[in-house]
Amino acid sequence: MHLNRRQCLLSAAAAVSAQSQPLPEATLRKLLVPPAGKVQAVIDSDTYNEIDDQYAVAYALLSPDRIEVEAIYAAPYLNARSTSPADGMQKSYEEILRLLKFLGQDPSGRVFRGSERFMASAAAPVESDAARQLIARAMQPRQAPLYVLTLGCPVNVASAILLEPKIKERIVVVWLGGACHTWPSAREFNLFQDPHASRVLLDSGVPLVQIPTKNVAEHLRTTLPEAEFWLKDKSRLCNFLYEQFVDYYKAHTRNKPQPYPWSKVIWDISTVAWVIEPRWIPSELVPSPILTDDLRWERKPGRHSIRVATHVDRDPVFYDLFTKLART
């Protein structure tokens, strides 16, 4: 059926209205209670963006007592490690397959390509296998919400919410993105890659656990000596992760005195750690902020609640991660 311009505009307006209706506050608060047992989850990851997503994906897969990973989606990104969002997504897809091979896990029916571009507006979802597959999984009968561990630009997740707003009742998005709400700027890589998608998470009323980078996830730093102690020669996967770390160390300490006390933040493990043990990453319920056009936080009375992490207890997170990796 052919739609004229007026019908298209009405359809877009209806989509915005549907996705912008938050759940009742009592329902939101119930869904945002930190998990106490094993959860069912999917992972949305720009895995090849740098070297931290690899740890997060492996961490989740190595925690079957706490997380049942149903699927992994490749998210797009654009930086020096990609030539376009589509190239970044494809490289992330291939990196996910590489990690599963190290772990001896079958990727069949579990790994899906995501969006090849960013959103043109907050009412313009991007079709992808990942977005459609997330909708299908979210709508399956289950006793508890599906946790969507979102490690990068949230275009796949935001598109799924726009394409089928009913999934808001059935998922909890745990997103590493943005700065803490007291910071002068909200700007951060996952957020500014696609501000429209980020606004969908904040405005749609989907149950959202935001883990800010500044002053929160940035505490998850490790060093070359620590990585060597825990990872080197422990397994093929550990050597792969360690060699990536060494390459990053060399690149970031070039022209500096050697040895240099450089540390690398492994941001993305925060989303997995919050699900495994929420006490390691304390959080609180706050009104969802508005993301302005110049990427600042703006507070407005009457906004629906989201849960925001306020701190990270770094040591138990890394102990749990490293001991699990060392056993592979």
Mean pLDDT of the chain: 94
| The token pair that represents 149 in the structure block | 């561990």
The amino acid that residue 208 corresponds to is L
Three-state secondary structure string covering the chain: CCCCHHHHHHHHHHHHHHHCCCCCHHHHHHHCCCCCCCEEEEEEECCCCCCHHHHHHHHHHCCCCCEEEEEEEECCCCCCCCCCHHHHHHHHHHHHHHHHHHCCCCCCCCEEECCCCCCCCCCCCCCCHHHHHHHHHHCCCCCCCEEEEECCCCHHHHHHHHHCHHHHHCEEEEEECCCCCCCCCCCCHHHHHCHHHHHHHHHCCCCEEEECCCCCHHHCEEEHHHHHHHHCCCCHHHHHHHHHHHHHHHHHCCCCCCCCCCEEECCCHHHHHHHHCHHHCCEEEEECCEECCCCCEECCCCCCEEEEECCCCHHHHHHHHHHHHHCC
- Looking at domain 36-219+266-326, does it have CATH number 3.40.640.10? no
The full set of domain ranges for the chain reads: 36-219+266-326, 221-252
Reference 206, options 288, 119, 133, 278; nearest CA is: 288
Find out whether 190 and 154 touch, Cβ atoms under 8 Å: yes
d(CA 307, CA 274) in angstroms, rounded, equals 12
Looking at residue 18, its pLDDT comes to 46
Find out whether 172 and 32 touch, Cβ atoms under 8 Å: yes
Residues of the chain with pLDDT under 70: 1-20
Looking at residue 120, its pLDDT comes to 97
Find out whether 245 and 264 touch, Cβ atoms under 8 Å: yes
Q: What is the pTM of this model?
A: 0.93
Residue 19 has φ and ψ, to the nearest 5°, of -75, -20
Residue with tokens 């979210």: 138
Residue with tokens 């902020």: 289
Looking at residue 20, its pLDDT comes to 60
Tens of pLDDT, residue by residue over 118-139, are: 999 999 999 999 999 999 999 9
Looking at residue 22, its pLDDT comes to 78
Looking at residue 142, its pLDDT comes to 96
Partners of residue 208 on adjacent β-strands: 173
CB burial readout 66-85, b (16+ within 10 A) else e = bbebbbbbbbbbbeeebeeb
Find out whether 123 and 15 touch, Cβ atoms under 8 Å: yes
The amino acid that residue 263 corresponds to is S
Q: How far is CA 182 from CA 179, 187, 212, in A?
A: 8, 12, 11
Looking at residue 21, its pLDDT comes to 77
